Amino acid sequence: MAHQRYDLKQEHDGSWTVIDVATGLPAEVDGVELIGLDFDEADDLVNALTILEDTSGKPSEGRSGCA
């Protein structure tokens, strides 16, 4: 199985953050950090970002590799 670039982290307040495993930092989309999310949002974003990276073969822009 290929290494997954994005993962979830539950914060102390119960919200979820999408983490860019390559950097250890919150992933970003259009300069917006993917933090303070509910679980379903965060999980959907991890899946979408993984699909985008898999289809493009590489990150497209930004710290997280998201457009």
The pLDDT assigned to 57 comes to 67
Beta-carbon contacts of 28 under 8 Å, excluding residues fewer than 6 positions away, are: 20, 34, 62, 63, 64, 66
Task: Average pLDDT across each block of 10 residues of the chain; the chain has 67 residues. List them in order.
Answer: 86 98 96 98 97 75 48
How many beta carbons lie within 10 A of that of residue 5, not counting itself? 20
pTM of the model: 0.79
Any alpha helices (H) in the chain, and if so which ranges?
39-56
Task: Domain ranges for the chain, please list them.
Answer: 6-56
pLDDT at 60: 45
Half-sphere exposure of 8 (CA within 13 A, CB side): 17
Which backbone phi and psi does 34 adopt, to 5 degrees?
-90, 75
